Amino acid sequence: MSQPNTDSQPAQHADSKGWFAQNWVALTTIWIKECTRFLRIWVQTLVPPAITMSLYFIIFGSLIGDRIGQMGGFTYMEFIVPGLIMMSVITNSYSNVSSSFFSAKFQRNVEELLVAPVPTTVIILGYVGGGVARAILIGIIVTLVSLFFVDVQIHNLAVIVVTLILTSTLFATAGLINAVFAKTFDDISMVPTFVLTPLTYLGGVFYSLTLLPEFWQWVSKANPIVYMVNGFRYGFLGVSDVGIVVSLTLLVGFNALLFSVAYYLLKTGKGIRS
């Protein structure tokens, strides 16, 4: 009776370790490149959000907030801080990946990456990881700025971290998809201007949905950013206009959907290979 060949098992194990090591090098290389890219021009990428959010805090929080009074049992400044942080996270995670990947596509650099022996998943995670890193850094900066105006509360740190990571990952992936379809640099700015900005301002950043008539409350709940803002606000204040479980479930579902779309686009080369 023939004996099983056990000599191949160490070789397969070594090949497996080599595969993971090679992909880890590729992943960290793309991620470091993306982080270096926005850190090199930190005056353009990190400073403007801090200045913009400071103006929001001064105008809406200090000047207008005193006249509005409380909202949801908290001062108006306390109420809008989580939403403003989330707004900056959404904008920066999206813009970082969309501009970076489109620049690589425009300069024909991404074609070299696609033909390299690097899995599509690694490419996506590398670019998205760069957008998430910038979003988290911006979130920390805006939070530190908010400390000059209000005492930030933390109700549930785990919810804050999970919501932050899921939201930044979602919009970083959306930015990559936009970059794949974009033909010009104007196409990159159209989505933030005509889609993200209206949805964000109507996503409960500056008000509670309970202030709206019942019909418009239901209409607002069709806006996915409502769940992200309220999930983040729950982490800070412990209040939310929607269920926290629903918010996190939708975030996971949207992430899975957009990742699948991004994977399909890069795997097939749609919008990239001519």
For range 87-112, the mean pLDDT = 89
In the three-class reduction of DSSP (H, G, I as helix; E, B as strand; rest coil), residue 247 is classed as helix
What backbone phi and psi angles, to 5 degrees, belong to 75? -65, 155
**DSSP string for 21-80:** HHHHHHHHHHHHHHHHHHHHTHHHHTHHHHHHHHHHIIIIIIIIHHHH-EETTEEHHHHH
Dump pLDDT digits (tens) for 60-96: 777 787 777 778 788 888 999 999 999 999 999 999 9
Q: At what angle do helices 224-237 and 157-181 cross, to 10 degrees?
A: 150
pLDDT at position 47, please? 92
Taking the C-alpha atoms of residue 82 and residue 77, their distance in angstroms, rounded to an integer, is: 10
Tell me the average pLDDT of the chain. Answer: 87
The yes-or-no verdict on residue 5 having pLDDT over 70 is no
pTM higher than the cut 0.85: yes
pLDDT at position 253, please? 96
For range 12-25, the mean pLDDT = 67
Q: Is residue 148 a contact partner of residue 139, using CB atoms and an 8 Å limit?
A: no
Q: Which residues contact 265 (CB under 8 A, 6 or more apart)?
A: 177, 180, 271, 272
What backbone phi and psi angles, to 5 degrees, belong to 36? -60, -35
For range 30-53, the mean pLDDT = 92
The total of other beta-carbon atoms located within 10 Å of residue 131's CB is: 29
User: In this predicted structure, which of 85-94, 162-171, 179-188 has the lowest mean pLDDT?
Assistant: 179-188
How many alpha carbons lie under 13 Å from residue 177 in its C-beta half-sphere?
16
Q: Is residue 262 a contact partner of residue 176, using CB atoms and an 8 Å limit?
A: yes
Cα 10 off chain centre by: 41
pLDDT at position 111, please? 78
Q: Which residues contact 3 (CB under 8 A, 6 or more apart)?
A: none
pLDDT at position 260, please? 96
Q: Tokens representing 160?
A: 């804050």
